[in-house]
Structure 1
Amino acid sequence: MNNESIQTIVEEVMSRLSAGTEKVNSVPLAVSARHCHVSQADLEALFGKGYTLTKKADLSQPGQFAANETITIAGPRGSLEKVRILGPARHMTQVEVSRTDSIKLGVKPPLRESGDIIGSAPITLVGPKGSLYKKEGLIIAQTHIHMTPEDAKGFGVENGEYVEIKVGGERPVTFGKVLVRVSSRYKLEMHVDTDEANASLLTGKQAGELVKIEGIS
């Protein structure tokens, strides 16, 4: 076997090893634009009694979909129109915006994990059949990763743990304190908001490298 053949074999083996490592540590990214989750009661207040959401498109997370329905959200300084509702209806209403959105609205929503709305910012929702003032429910979503228990085992992480995600590209960036959320209902995917995506020139088609960190809670 000549030196050229040996070099070719070595390069192939290294390529396969590299690909295997990338597969283990790689997390696909998705950009999550402003959106709203609504309770059935609030949906009916906005769209009429007995109203149900209609599906526009399935989302990457199993069972979740972007609805055809949109609303306007309003704050003391301004409003945002055509904010997409995501379905199905939930037990509580929650609106997720970026920091830039919150400035336009004139409000100061806290950075929170989805579902943690106690003491969050107030917001007014406007639909075709009515409007609602919610004393709480507006948040900026904590950067997070959805993953299955099998994914978590592979990464060596647990639900509620924080990790770092390193992303290459034109503007390489490391996202710190990324929350791990584990459920058998999830599909592996990291969600960033539009501010984070724009600042790092992400298109939502990249993947990042998961890095475990210690001492963050």
Structure 2
Amino acid sequence: MSPHNVEEIVQKVMTRIKEEKQTSSEIPVGVSARHCHLDRETFKLLFGDDAELTKKADLSQPDQFAANETITVAGPKGSISKVRILGPLRSSNQVEISQTDAFKVGLKPPIRQSGDISGSCPVTIIGPYGSVYLNEGLIIAQAHIHMHTNDAERYGVEDGNVVSIRFENEKRDVHFSKTVIRVSENYRLEMHIDTDEANAGSIVTGQTGELVKVMADES
């Protein structure tokens, strides 16, 4: 076989692999534990005027990190300590917990997309230097998928589309039928679910699900 023929075969194989990759419907998942996002004013009230948010570890999304600093989330029935702050600091406060957490503290947060906090549940958060009562900001995060614009084009979806994702395990298959697509040039491909959802489906970070259906826009 001539070198030309070998090169041609290799090129065909590489093209086929690339095409298969591009048509894959697999979505990697990250399990998101309870956490919060704080604005600078609230952070100072909780940690002191001279405090700065410090990085513990990078997160999967570019420029996002888990901080060393944690807070306590309090409700009428109890509290949850060591709720990690995610950085960098934001323009508004948001606390994300699971339904199990909500039962523990005695609060009723709505299921919302991150950033949609208008009229959401009030909550008290506590730091080493004081406490702050938030009139709104406590939510249970709706399952969603971060996609770069290139990923959205490859999967044939748009920002705001609602899709169904299927996870198959040895003894339990789970479908997430109201998963919202979020598209940005700053995102890296990853689906986010909370710990309750992960436990129900025996799903772990790094596992992949299959995008099986594009539904109507959430709006």
- TM more than 0.5: yes
Query: Is 1:41 paired with 2:41?
Result: yes
Aligned counterpart, 2:199 = 198
Query: Is 1:31 paired with 2:31?
Result: yes
Query: Is 1:215 paired with 2:216?
Result: yes
Aligned counterpart, 1:98 = 98
Contact 2:165 2:176 in 1 (8 A): yes
Q: 1:177-199 deviations in whole A, cap 9, x for unaligned? A: 10000001110000000000000
**Counterparts of 1:216 and 1:63, CA distance in 2:** 29
Matches within 5 A, 1:91-170: 91-170=91-170
**Counterparts of 2:22 and 2:104, CA distance in 1:** 40
**Counterparts of 1:99 and 1:41, CA distance in 2:** 28
Aligned counterpart, 1:88 = 88
Contact 1:28 1:188 in 2 (8 A): yes
Q: 1:30 to 1:185 in 2, by over 3 A?
A: same
Aligned counterpart, 2:175 = 174
Aligned counterpart, 2:9 = none
**Counterparts of 2:94 and 2:122, CA distance in 1:** 10
Contact 1:177 1:216 in 2 (8 A): no
Counterpart of 1:80 in 2: which secondary structure? strand
Shift in Å, 1:24: 2.4
Contact 2:146 2:182 in 1 (8 A): yes
Aligned counterpart, 2:58 = 58
TM-score (norm 1): 0.89
Shift in Å, 1:21: 5.7
Residue identity matched to 2:202: L
Structure 2: which 5+ runs fail to align?
Answer: 1-12
**Counterparts of 1:21 and 1:89, CA distance in 2:** 36
**Counterparts of 1:137 and 1:23, CA distance in 2:** 38
Contact 1:47 1:127 in 2 (8 A): yes
Q: 1:10-52 deviations in whole A, cap 9, x for unaligned? A: xxx9xx77x9268621110010000000000000000001321
Aligned counterpart, 1:186 = 187
Identity of aligned residues (%): 57
Residue identity matched to 1:70: T
Counterpart of 1:158 in 2: which secondary structure? coil
Runs of 4+ in 1 over 4 A off after TM superposition: none
Structure 1: which 5+ runs fail to align?
Answer: 1-12
TM-score (norm 2): 0.88
How many residues align? The count is 203
**Counterparts of 1:126 and 1:214, CA distance in 2:** 40
Q: 1:214 to 1:71 in 2, by over 3 A?
A: closer
Residue identity matched to 1:37: H
Counterpart of 1:213 in 2: which secondary structure? strand
Counterpart of 1:214 in 2: which secondary structure? strand
Counterpart of 2:102 in 1: which secondary structure? helix
Shift in Å, 1:206: 0.7
Shift in Å, 1:73: 0.5
